Structure 1
Amino acid sequence: MAFIFESDLKAFLFCLLQFVIAIVVSYSFSNYTNPEQRKLEKVAMLELKVEQTEKDIEQLRDLTRSLEGKYQNIESVHVPLVAFHVYNPLHTNLEVGQVIVYQTVPLNEGNGYDRKTGIFTTPVTGLYQFSAHICNQDNAMFVYAIVLEGETIALSTQRDMPSSCNTVNALTVASAGQQVSVQGVHMSKSYQVIENPHRKNSFNGVLLHRT
């Protein structure tokens, strides 16, 4: 009986030792694998964050492109400041087809008017308004016109006694680079235009809408 009890005790102790060894090995293995698993999890989370960041960047790029398009549309309808006012004609005796050159230029926004030639060149395409104010000599018939690229867009005939002044206006769409001027069309005397402190011959233009 003592031998049997002793053998059973040995078997029990052996099983207990195996159980303790298993626990120790399991604990050691878990301590070894958990840091590695945590590293893998961190890498996976970083990859997800990178992927989300790339998506956010792409959305920002789309938004930037959209805003740039809207800005370009705003720029296309923006009306720049284009306006001029000139007076004091260089010559008062004109020939048929001669451009009236105005010497005094108090306003020339956009630099479209050339004081040497008397010609206004449109800087941008759009809707413009032009006006010309002419004072004729006493009993001198004078026909003058606002001319755009060789085409008359406004015209007036004067033959008053004593002298008088008259204004013509024109609304027109002009392309960038086109030329506008005031020209003599027909006259009955050598001196047709009068300029003095009480009479100012002038030429004006303004961009109303850019197209």
Structure 2
Amino acid sequence: MKVTQVCRRHSSTEKTYNVTMKITVFLLLLLVCSDSTAQTTPEADKEIQQPLPQDIRDLLKELAASVAQQKVEITFLKIENQAQEAKLEKQETEITKLKQQVEVKQVAFTVSLSAEGEITVGPFDTLSTLIFKHVVTNIGNAYNQNTGMFTAPVRGAYHFEWYIGAHGFVTAAVLVKNTEQIFLAYEQQSSGYGTSSSGATLLLEAGDTVFLQLWPQTKMYDNRHHHTTFSGRLLFTM
């Protein structure tokens, strides 16, 4: 009786050992086969060709299904992450625009042609940009006194006005947006002093430039009383 029990236990242990060994050998063969440079042996080929036990096949099916599900989940996570990144970039762009609008909500400048003393500019054969040297106000620093150009810091509606002086000659100045001529102020004075003025409200994009140009074959006059001026301000952003 004892001998029979011992033999049964030995048989069960041997069976379990064989199944474990088969699984181990199979997994090792999978690792070896995954290497493109590995060479299989006849013994390994013979082991691969042998039918696998049902429990091992079931286990492999479960593993394959789990791997496939994980791949699908990873793909969806990547798509979701890309959508979240695009959403965050859009929000950051909107926040940046809002910050810019808040920072430049106050823009205004007033300048005159003469920094000191009496001056006469022109005449020139072609249009010439007027550089107003005397800066009275430049809130937002949008006017450049070195170039005479105003650069819009943000999209919005801006209003501009300019006054020009003539002293015994013809004077004319045109308001220019980028390369487009908007309005012309003109004054002809045969003797004595005279002035002319004009104004315009423009829709500007951020980066647009606005400036005054002296009309060909005309002159511009100014003195310490600052008769010739150029002003602009932001009315509201858009």
TM-score interval w.r.t. the shorter chain? 0.5 to 0.7
Asked if the contact 1:142/1:186 (under 8 Å) is kept, the reply is: no
Corresponding residue number in structure 2 for 1:143: 172
| Deviation digits for residues 155-199 of structure 1 (CA, Å, limit 9, x no counterpart) | 1211023221111101110111011111012334xxx22212445
Whole-Å separation in 2 of the counterparts to 1:199 and 1:104: 9
Corresponding residue number in structure 1 for 2:81: none
Whole-Å separation in 2 of the counterparts to 1:145 and 1:88: 15
Whole-Å separation in 2 of the counterparts to 1:163 and 1:124: 38
Determine which of 73, 77, 93 is the counterpart of 2:121: 93
Unmatched runs of 5 consecutive residues or more in structure 1: 1-67
Asked if the contact 1:113/1:121 (under 8 Å) is kept, the reply is: yes
Determine which of 136, 140, 157 is the counterpart of 2:186: 157
Once the two structures are superposed, the pairs formed by residues 38-49 of structure 1 within 5 Å of their partners are none
Aligned length: 140
Bigger relative contact order, structure 1 or 2 (CA pairs below 8 A, ≥6 apart): 1
Unmatched runs of 5 consecutive residues or more in structure 2: 1-90
Determine which of 208, 213, 216 is the counterpart of 1:183: 213
SS at match of 1:187: coil
SS at match of 1:123: coil
Residue 122 of structure 1 aligns with an amino acid whose one-letter code is A
The higher radius of gyration belongs to 1
Once the two structures are superposed, the pairs formed by residues 32-111 of structure 1 within 5 Å of their partners are 75=98, 80-89=105-114, 92-94=120-122, 95=124, 96-111=126-141
Identical counterparts, % of pairs: 26
After TM superposition, give the deviation of residue 141 of structure 1 in Å.
1.2
Does residue 204 of structure 2 align to residue 204 of structure 1?
Answer: no
SS at match of 1:158: strand
Normalized against structure 2, the TM-score is what?
0.52
Normalized against structure 1, the TM-score is what?
0.58
Whole-Å separation in 1 of the counterparts to 2:147 and 2:224: 24
SS at match of 1:206: strand
Corresponding residue number in structure 2 for 1:21: none
After TM superposition, give the deviation of residue 206 of structure 1 in Å.
0.2
SS at match of 2:193: coil
